[in-house]
Amino acid sequence: MGMNVIPLKELTPNEPKELTLKLLKTLEPDNPENEKPRGELVVEVMYKPFTEDELPKNPEDNNGIEKAPEGTPATGGLLVIIIH
């Protein structure tokens, strides 16, 4: 299908924003394979930053923290969504 990225710096905390994302073959900006239309995804997102009390007290406590799925871009952040 395709992929895209939403940089957090483009989002205002706690404010919903609707985005239309062009699906890309790769995340390399100059890759000619990205020219082929792969569709679009319309999403509404809201960035909710962590607050101090939401951070784990013990950094070694991995409860609830999962490893990113295979194929996640190396620059991936805390949220990866895969739609099948």
pLDDT tens string 18-28: 999 999 998 88
CA distance 24 to 12: 24
CA distance 64 to 12: 26
Q: Which residue has the higher pLDDT, 70 or 13?
A: 13
The sign of the dihedral angle between the CA atoms of 10, 16, 18, 23 is: positive
- Determine the average pLDDT of the residues in 29-57: 85
Q: Which residue has the higher pLDDT, 60 or 9?
A: 9
With contact defined as beta carbons under 8 Å apart, do 22 and 6 qualify? no
